[in-house]
Chain A
Amino acid sequence: MRRIGATVAVAFPAAFLGVFFLYPIGAILFRGLGAEGLTRLIELLKKPSFWDVAWFTLWQAAASTVLTLAVALPGAHLLARRQFRGRSLLRAAATVPFVLPTVAVGGAFLALFERLGLADGPLHLTRTAGAVLIAHVFFNVAVVLRTVGSFWEGLDPRASEQARVLGASPVQAFRWVTWPQLWPAVAAASSIVFLFCFTSFGVVLILGGPTRATLETEVWRHAVFRGDLASATALAMVQLAAVVAIVMVTNRLQYRRAVVQQPVRRIAPPRASLRLLAANLGLLATVLGLPIVVLVERSLTRGRSGGGWGDWTFDHYGALASRSVLLPASALRALGNSLLFALVATGLAVLVGGLASLVVVHGRRALGRAFDLGLMLPLGASAVTLGFGMLIALDEPPVDFRSSKWLVPVAHALIGVPFVMRTVVPTLRSIDVQLREAAATLGATSVRTRREIDLPIAARALAVGAGFSFAVSLGEFGATSFLPRHPDQLTAPLALFRLLAQPGDALRGQAMALAVLLMLLTAASVLAIEGWGRRGAVRGDL
Chain B
Amino acid sequence: MGGGLETPGLKVRDLSVVFDGMPVLNGIDLSVAPGEVVVLLGPSGSGKSTLLRSVAGLEKPVSGEVKWGDEDLSGVPTHQRGFGLVFQDHALFGHRDVAGNVDFGLRVAGMPSAARAHRVTRSLALVGLDGFESRRVDTLSGGEAQRVALARSLAAGPRLLMLDEPLGSLDRALRERLTSDLGSLLRRIGMAALHVTHDHDEAFALADRIAVLGGGRIDRIGTPDEVWTDPGTVHAARCLGHENLVELNSAGECALGLLGVGPGTVLVRADRVLIEPFPGDGELTAEVKTSSIRGGRAVVVVDVSGVMLRAWPRNVLAVGDRVGVTLGSGAIVPLKS
Contacts from A to B (Cβ < 8 Å): 156, 158-159, 161-170, 172-173, 176-177, 180-181, 265, 268, 270
Closest A residue to B87 using CB positions:
A158
Q: How far does the Cβ of A405 sit from chain B's closest Cβ, in whole Å? A: 56
Closest B residue to A166 using CB positions:
B105
Q: For residues 71 through 86 of chain B, which have their beta carbon under 8 Å from a beta carbon of chain A? A: 77-80, 82-85
9 interchain residue pairs of minimum CB distance: A166-B105, A164-B78, A158-B91, A168-B108, A165-B85, A162-B91, A180-B95, A167-B105, A167-B79
> Does B97 make an interface contact (CB < 8 A)?
no
A158, A161, A163, A167 — which one has the most chain B CB atoms within 10 A of its CB? A167
Q: Tell me the complex Cα distance, A161–B153, Å.
A: 13
Q: How far does the Cβ of B157 sit from chain A's closest Cβ, in whole Å? A: 9
Contacts A159-B93, A161-B58, A167-B156 hold; do A176 and B78 have CB atoms under 8 A apart? no
Q: Tell me the complex Cα distance, A177–B56, Å.
A: 18
Q: Are A168 and B104 in contact (CB under 8 A)?
A: yes
Contacts from B to A (Cβ < 8 Å): 19-20, 56-60, 77-80, 82-85, 87, 89, 91, 93-95, 104-105, 107-109, 152-153, 156
Contacts A158-B87, A159-B93, A268-B19 hold; do A164 and B104 have CB atoms under 8 A apart? no
Q: Tell me the complex Cα distance, A168–B105, Å.
A: 7
Q: Tell me the complex Cα distance, A217–B58, Å.
A: 53
Q: Tell me the complex Cα distance, A5–B206, Å.
A: 69
Which one, B60, B89, B108, contacts A176 given CB within 8 A? B108
Q: How far does the Cβ of B147 sit from chain A's closest Cβ, in whole Å? A: 15
Which one, A156, A166, A169, A170, contacts B152 given CB within 8 A? A166
Q: Tell me the complex Cα distance, A181–B80, Å.
A: 24
Contacts A166-B152, A168-B79, A169-B79 hold; do A161 and B91 have CB atoms under 8 A apart? yes
Q: Is the interface of A mostly helix, strand, loop or mixed?
A: helix
* 16 cross-chain CB contacts under 8 A: A158-B87, A158-B89, A159-B91, A159-B93, A161-B85, A162-B91, A164-B78, A164-B79, A165-B78, A166-B79, A167-B79, A167-B80, A167-B82, A172-B108, A265-B89, A270-B59
Q: How far does the Cβ of B114 sit from chain A's closest Cβ, in whole Å? A: 19
Which one, B59, B60, B109, contacts A167 given CB within 8 A? B109
Q: Tell me the complex Cα distance, A265–B88, Å.
A: 11
A163: B residues at CB distance < 8 A: 93, 104, 108
B20: A residues at CB distance < 8 A: 268
B57, B77, B87 — which one has the most chain A CB atoms within 10 A of its CB? B87
Contacts A172-B108, A176-B104, A176-B108 hold; do A166 and B153 have CB atoms under 8 A apart? yes
Q: Tell me the complex Cα distance, A270–B19, Å.
A: 10
B83: A residues at CB distance < 8 A: 165
Q: Are A177 and B93 in contact (CB under 8 A)?
A: yes
B57: A residues at CB distance < 8 A: 164
Q: Tell me the complex Cα distance, A163–B56, Å.
A: 12
Which one, A159, A166, A180, contacts B156 given CB within 8 A? A166
Q: Tell me the complex Cα distance, A158–B56, Å.
A: 13
Q: How far does the Cβ of A175 sit from chain B's closest Cβ, in whole Å? A: 10
Q: How far does the Cβ of A440 sit from chain B's closest Cβ, in whole Å? A: 36
Closest A residue to B100 using CB positions:
A176
A161: B residues at CB distance < 8 A: 56, 58, 78, 85, 87, 91
Q: Are A162 and B108 in contact (CB under 8 A)?
A: no
A162: B residues at CB distance < 8 A: 85, 87, 91, 93
B152: A residues at CB distance < 8 A: 166
A156: B residues at CB distance < 8 A: 91
A270: B residues at CB distance < 8 A: 59-60
Which one, B58, B87, B94, contacts A164 given CB within 8 A? B58
Q: Tell me the complex Cα distance, A181–B107, Å.
A: 19
Q: Tell me the complex Cα distance, A135–B156, Å.
A: 48
Q: Tell me the complex Cα distance, A163–B95, Å.
A: 13
Q: How far does the Cβ of B238 sit from chain A's closest Cβ, in whole Å? A: 26
Q: Are B91 and A181 in contact (CB under 8 A)?
A: no
Q: Tell me the complex Cα distance, A166–B108, Å.
A: 8
B108: A residues at CB distance < 8 A: 163, 166-169, 172, 176
Q: Tell me the complex Cα distance, A188–B82, Å.
A: 38
Q: How far does the Cβ of A261 sit from chain B's closest Cβ, in whole Å? A: 12
Q: How far does the Cβ of A523 sit from chain B's closest Cβ, in whole Å? A: 32
A158: B residues at CB distance < 8 A: 87, 89, 91
Q: How far does the Cβ of B10 sit from chain A's closest Cβ, in whole Å? A: 15
Q: Tell me the complex Cα distance, A172–B78, Å.
A: 13
Contacts A158-B87, A172-B108, A265-B89 hold; do A165 and B79 have CB atoms under 8 A apart? yes
Q: Tell me the complex Cα distance, A168–B56, Å.
A: 13
Q: How far does the Cβ of B155 sit from chain A's closest Cβ, in whole Å? A: 9
Q: Tell me the complex Cα distance, A285–B160, Å.
A: 45
A177: B residues at CB distance < 8 A: 93
B56: A residues at CB distance < 8 A: 161, 165
Q: How far does the Cβ of A258 sit from chain B's closest Cβ, in whole Å? A: 15
Known: A161-B56, A164-B58. 9 other contacts (CB 8 A): A159-B91, A161-B85, A162-B93, A164-B78, A164-B79, A165-B153, A166-B84, A168-B79, A180-B95
Q: Tell me the complex Cα distance, A163–B20, Å.
A: 26
Q: Tell me the complex Cα distance, A163–B152, Å.
A: 10
A164: B residues at CB distance < 8 A: 57-58, 77-79
Q: Tell me the complex Cα distance, A205–B83, Å.
A: 59
